[in-house]
A and B are shown apart, each in its own frame.
Chain A
Amino acid sequence: MDARFSGGRSGTAPLTWGQRAIWDTVRRTVPDDRYFNFGRILPVPGRARPLTPERAAAALGALVERHESLRTTLGAAEPYRDGEHAGPHRSEGREPRRILDHAEPYQVLAGAGTIPVTVATGDPETLLGELTATAYDYAAEWPLRAGLVVGGGEVTHVVLAFCHLAADGLGAEVAVRDLRLLLMRGSVPGPPPPQPLDLARWQESGAGRRVAGVAAEHWENEYRRIPPTMFDRPSRQAASPPVWRAKIVSRALDLAVQRIAAVHATSTSTVLLAASSALVSAATGHEVCAMLPIVGNRFRGDTVNAVTTLSQEGLFVLDADRADLAGLLRAARPAALRAYRSAYHDPRDRDRLEAEASRERGTRVHPYCCFNDMRFTDRADASHDEATVRRAMDGTTLTWPLSQDRLNCRFCLHLTAEPGGLGVSVTADTRFLSRPSMERYLLDLESTLVAAAFREVPELVG
């Protein structure tokens, strides 16, 4: 079955900064770029039941009408003028995915079209797995793959698989929230959301270039002083394959970080960013730690409810010579704000500055050390008591969920909310950080923060 959309505007524009950043990453990852596919499963809300496949498809069509990124594909050049483009650039008779040859494609917005909807029975996770299994043809395929799970004569789940050019995790949350409203009420209240076409045009304007300039200045200054790369010493314990992920799930760490955040009037994200950086310094011997947090970039009125890819890396730089956690957090707060502002940048500026710094310093400058807080909530709570938190450490699990040949980084730290507590994983290149060192890093993070949560007297504020 199909979801139809019509009546919207069409047009072309250069890529936004966020689209450009993910496009560069996709091109570096080909042919394994399906790695970036992701999705969401929406159980049909009670108020929308019983839901027929036809009504579900109509709601999907309305969702695609509302969020232009879901009907935007890539084009090699600017072949269409407004109003002339009617759908993805079919590749019949041509080699598929030739768009990958283009470093600077255009975004091409269609005003009308039909999106295929897969109808299935059974487990929604299975359907999501199928919808995300293959890489997208970025020019020839809509960036949303949709599915319906039916059972007992009605639709029970709507499954959305996103091309990462169309949305990031926060953008997908907006899409799911809006789809839920469309299913229940038939419409989404409030003003129309910001659209990537307009964002791209603003980013090219004088105002956009000024914002880019502020961010670029931070990258330029810090690239002159940070260690060229963080994990620069061979571990001499390379594993096979070389890239591994270690992951802990820790209730104790979750509670400890909540307490620290409350006591120090900051967020758990800042606490974890600061502590992770300090431990990278300890593990590598570099007094200055440079880390690249993935930042949502939804601070501005023109980005907050946008379904598009806005997340980009910022540059977080922390001098690690802090004797205590309070001192570390005092330094981390402004450093985090600078990092967040630097994340809203034009990737072309960053590439240029990276090349210049590498030339000046005679070695490649890139931290290859990133931080991704993928949680959607951030809770601070000082009430957790020490005995409870220490007891919870007995329940901490450590697993090795992934190994692979290649990684375009050396150290990637991910935070996730898990049923059993805070999930912290390190995906590392074992040629620079051995498997035993990865394990030690994660357990040190837990023990350090659990100890700090109850050792330090809160600072007097005011």
Chain B
Amino acid sequence: MLRERLAAMVAAASDGTVTAAEALAATVPLSALGVTSLAQMRLIDAVESEFGIEFDLSRDGVGVLEDLGALERYVAGAA
């Protein structure tokens, strides 16, 4: 469920450039599918607001924005 919710948030943050289905099926980084830095900022804001967490934006930390599985583990671990 969390994974699907996050995929929907990726779709909303990218204005549909990447659909939820594409995010769920992705085998490459989300940025390669068209998730821009603007969309990443929207995603960060949406996830932080909904789950009450705060992203680590260090170089290693931002990797979770590129991979739905990693994002799911991060949110599940932090929430």
A462 CB contact (under 8 Å) in B29, B42, B44, B61: B29
The proximity string for A residues 243-278 relative to B, scoring 1 for CB distances below 8 Å and 0 otherwise, is 000000000000000000000011101100000000
- Bound complex: CA A453 to CA B40 (Å): 24
Is A299 in contact with B62, judged by CB distance below 8 angstroms? no
- Which residues 1-54 in B have Cβ within 8 Å of A in the complex? 27-29, 31-32, 36-38, 40-42, 44-46, 54
Check if A1 is an interface residue, CB within 8 A of chain B: no
- Bound complex: CA A49 to CA B33 (Å): 42
Set of chain A residues within 8 Å of B36, measured between Cβ atoms: 266-267, 378
The proximity string for A residues 356-395 relative to B, scoring 1 for CB distances below 8 Å and 0 otherwise, is 0000000000000000000000100000000000000000
Is B32 in contact with A299, judged by CB distance below 8 angstroms? no
Set of chain A residues within 8 Å of B45, measured between Cβ atoms: 299-301
B62 CB contact (under 8 Å) in A214, A269, A337: A337
Check if A433 is an interface residue, CB within 8 A of chain B: no
A299 CB contact (under 8 Å) in B38, B57, B61: B38
- Bound complex: CA A389 to CA B55 (Å): 40
The proximity string for B residues 65-77 relative to A, scoring 1 for CB distances below 8 Å and 0 otherwise, is 0000000000000
Check if A323 is an interface residue, CB within 8 A of chain B: no
Check if A286 is an interface residue, CB within 8 A of chain B: no
- Bound complex: CA A265 to CA B31 (Å): 6
Check if A99 is an interface residue, CB within 8 A of chain B: no
Is B38 in contact with A267, judged by CB distance below 8 angstroms? yes
**Closest CB-CB distance, B43 to chain A, in whole Å?**
9
- Bound complex: CA A461 to CA B58 (Å): 20
Which bucket holds chain A's interface residue count? 20 to 34
A341 CB contact (under 8 Å) in B27, B31, B44, B46: B44
Is B62 in contact with A333, judged by CB distance below 8 angstroms? yes
Is B58 in contact with A334, judged by CB distance below 8 angstroms? yes
Check if A398 is an interface residue, CB within 8 A of chain B: no
- Which residues 210-239 in A have Cβ within 8 Å of B in the complex? 214
Is B57 in contact with A338, judged by CB distance below 8 angstroms? yes
Set of chain B residues within 8 Å of A336, measured between Cβ atoms: 37
Q: Which residue of A lies closest to B29 (CB)?
A: A461
- Bound complex: CA A295 to CA B77 (Å): 31
Q: Which residue of A lies closest to B26 (CB)?
A: A462
- Bound complex: CA A284 to CA B35 (Å): 34
Set of chain B residues within 8 Å of A341, measured between Cβ atoms: 41, 44, 57
Contacts A267-B36, A462-B27 known; A334 to B59 CB distance under 8 Å? yes
Q: Which residue of A lies closest to B58 (CB)?
A: A334
- Bound complex: CA A214 to CA B49 (Å): 14
- Name the residue among B45, B46, B54 with the largest chain A CB count within 10 angstroms: B45
- Name the residue among B32, B54, B57, B62 with the largest chain A CB count within 10 angstroms: B57
Set of chain A residues within 8 Å of B31, measured between Cβ atoms: 265-266, 333
Set of chain B residues within 8 Å of A378, measured between Cβ atoms: 36
Check if A181 is an interface residue, CB within 8 A of chain B: no
- Bound complex: CA A330 to CA B36 (Å): 14
B59 CB contact (under 8 Å) in A269, A270, A331: A331
- Bound complex: CA A201 to CA B54 (Å): 22
- Bound complex: CA A336 to CA B36 (Å): 12
Between A and B, 19 residue pairs with Cβ closer than 8 Å are: A214-B54, A265-B31, A265-B32, A266-B31, A267-B36, A267-B37, A267-B38, A299-B38, A299-B42, A299-B44, A299-B45, A301-B45, A334-B57, A334-B59, A336-B37, A337-B44, A337-B57, A340-B41, A341-B44
Beyond the given pairs A334-B58, A337-B62, A341-B44, 10 more chain A to chain B contacts, judged by CB atoms under 8 angstroms and listed by A's residue number, are A265-B31, A299-B38, A299-B41, A299-B42, A301-B45, A301-B46, A330-B59, A334-B62, A337-B37, A461-B32
The 7 closest A-B pairs by CB, nearest first: A299-B41, A334-B62, A265-B32, A265-B31, A338-B57, A461-B32, A462-B28
